[in-house]
Amino acid sequence: MTRKPHVRKVYWNAPTMTWWERAYLFEILRGLLITGGVFLRNMGKWMTGRKGALTTYYPEETRADYAAGNRGKHILTQRPDGRPQCIACNMCATVCPAKVIEIDAAFDAGDLAHPKYPSRFEIDYSRCIFCGLCIEACPEDAIRMVKETPALPSGNRDHMWLNLTELINWHPQSDVAKPYPPRDAVGSTHPQRDAMAMPGGRRDEAASPYAVPAAAGKTGPAP
Ligand code: SF4
Ligand code: SF4
């Protein structure tokens, strides 16, 4: 049996490499010196309380320099009476490449103009890739993304879901395209929102006509 002759592989950059680079070990040491130097410099800044370390200690620290075009949070828009503008058509859930939107549709025979509404609307932020396709697909301008970021980091993926109440009650300051109903207006003309109001500006989800049944809970993947 004849053995195949050994042919040494020639890499694309071999002709331009110096003998120092060909020796390999020196370049490994140079890389370790660069990364070690950056690590020690940032560690020193952190230990002495100086600003300038390259990392942000998220979520304890929040970056102030997000780009103006950053879109890190979904909201569901409301009708003037406080109900969601969403008609539970499922187009956003269908187009979502990460399959992180879950919607249950319900029927309200008393609302002839918009009989279909979401009884459950949840987004799993642990898997959302913030591509914005759900916004593009929505025919009702019922879901939007704004530049704030949700305070959701957690060691448990089940805690990284936002439900219908959280998505609709979140009034961003950065989305000025649409006037939202006033949150705490005295003598509000929004009886449904008033019925859900709780001290501290929060809403009683159980009192909402769009509340998620307690038994259903959040349905995220196991941590
Ligand atoms: S931003 Fe993209 S990944 Fe996130 S929910 Fe919308 S379509 Fe899905
Ligand atoms: S948010 Fe828009 S696309 Fe998604 S179910 Fe509601 S109406 Fe349809």
Q: What is the pLDDT of residue 35?
A: 97
Quote the ligand 1 centre to 147 CA distance (angstroms): 14
Residue 10 lies in a domain: no
pLDDT grade for 179, boundaries at 50, 70 and 90: low
Residue 132 lies in a domain: yes
Domain that holds residue 133: 73-207
Mean per-residue pLDDT for 7-34?
91
Quote the ligand 1 centre to 70 CA distance (angstroms): 14
Residue 25 in this model has a pLDDT that exceeds 70: yes
Cβ–ligand 2 contact at 101 (below 6 Å): no
Domains identified in the chain, total number: 1
pLDDT grade for 203, boundaries at 50, 70 and 90: very low
Mean per-residue pLDDT for 50-71?
74
Cβ–ligand 2 contact at 138 (below 6 Å): yes
Residue 143 lies in a domain: yes
Residue 98, Cβ density class (10 Å: 0-12 exposed, 13-18 middle, ≥19 buried): middle
Residue 25 lies in a domain: no
Task: Write the CATH number for 161.
Answer: 3.30.70.3270
In degrees, rounded to 5, the angle at the alpha carbon of residue 196 between the alpha carbons of residues 192 and 100 is 95
pLDDT tens string 96-146? 999 999 999 999 988 888 899 999 999 999 999 999 999 999 999 999 998
CB 124 within 8 A of CB 100: yes
Cβ–ligand 2 contact at 91 (below 6 Å): yes
Protein residue with its CA nearest to atom 3 in ligand 2? 138
**Summary mean pLDDT of the chain:** 78
Task: Give the separation between CA 96 and CA 133, rounded to whole angstroms.
Answer: 6
Cβ–ligand 2 contact at 87 (below 6 Å): yes
Residue 92 lies in a domain: yes
Q: Which of 86, 101, 165, 178 is nearest to 133 (CA)?
A: 101
Residue 194 lies in a domain: yes
Cβ–ligand 2 contact at 205 (below 6 Å): no
The predicted model scores a pTM of 0.62
Q: Which of 120, 129, 137 is nearest to 217 (CA)?
A: 120
